[in-house]
Amino acid sequence: MSRTLAIIKPDAVSSGKAGKILAHLEEAGFTVKAGKMTRLTDAQAGRFYEVHRERPFYDSLVSFMTSGPCFPLVLEADGAVLALRETIGATYPAEAAPGTVRALFAENKERNAIHASDSDENAAREISFFFSDSELIQISG
Ligand code: CMP
């Protein structure tokens, strides 16, 4: 078993789709190990998306991600990182395979409903970004 980080993004939370997305993830075989409703500050969103700082959509992305609450989740499954990326589908909903979270719930290429870590290394970093050591100790083992 391994773990990955998902974030149900502000578009999906504000339109009342968080519960449906959570159910979809559980039906796809993920165990929810931790989750919390939170609202990112500009500084937090900027740091989380640091890797995209030079991209033309960076400012808009930070503004979107701070526009309302989001719902980060620690998910567990066999090969969790790859499994979650397959379950959520391509970044752009128009390219997402039928039945994936983004095909079902995303609005457009920015407001695309959900984030998923892209490697085990980034999963560990992103889980620590949202969850404290004491929260993670409670779900260890
Ligand atoms: P994600 O892949 O989770 O992380 C980077 C995010 O940037 C991506 O989801 C989208 O929300 C956003 N993004 C990626 N490409 C574009 C784009 N061309 N225009 C606007 N937003 C984008």
**DSSP per residue over 36-100, as a string?**
--B---HHHHHHHTGGGTTSTTHHHHHHHHTSS-BEEEEEEETTHHHHHHHHH--SSGGGSPTTS
Question: Measured from the CB, is residue 57 less than 6 Å from ligand 1?
Answer: yes
Q: Along the 141 residues of the chain, how does pLDDT read in single tens digits?
A: 999 999 999 999 999 999 999 999 999 999 999 999 999 999 999 999 999 999 999 999 999 999 999 999 999 999 999 999 999 999 999 999 999 999 999 999 999 999 999 999 999 999 999 999 889 888 886
Q: pLDDT at position 141, please?
A: 67
| Helices and strands, number each (H, E), in the chain | 8, 4
Q: Which residues pair with 32 in a beta bridge?
A: 75
Q: pLDDT at position 16, please?
A: 98
Q: Strand 2-8's sheet: what is its strand order? A: 31-35, 71-77, 2-8, 114-116
- 3-state class of 116 per DSSP? strand
Nearest CA to ligand 1 atom 21: 110
Distance from Cα 57 to the centre of ligand 1, integer Å: 7
Question: Measured from the CB, is residue 63 less than 6 Å from ligand 1?
Answer: no
Q: pLDDT at position 92, please?
A: 93
Atom of ligand 1 nearest to the CA of 91: 2
Cβ-based neighbour number of residue 121 at 10 Å: 10
Distance from Cα 12 to the centre of ligand 1, integer Å: 15
Closest CA to 109 of 74, 54, 73, 64: 64
Nearest CA to ligand 1 atom 1: 115
Q: Judge if pTM exceeds 0.85.
A: yes
Atom of ligand 1 nearest to the CA of 65: 11
Residues 77/1, Cβ–Cβ less than 8 Å: yes
Question: Measured from the CB, is residue 112 less than 6 Å from ligand 1?
Answer: yes
Closest CA to 76 of 32, 115, 118: 32
Q: Which residues are catalytic?
A: 115
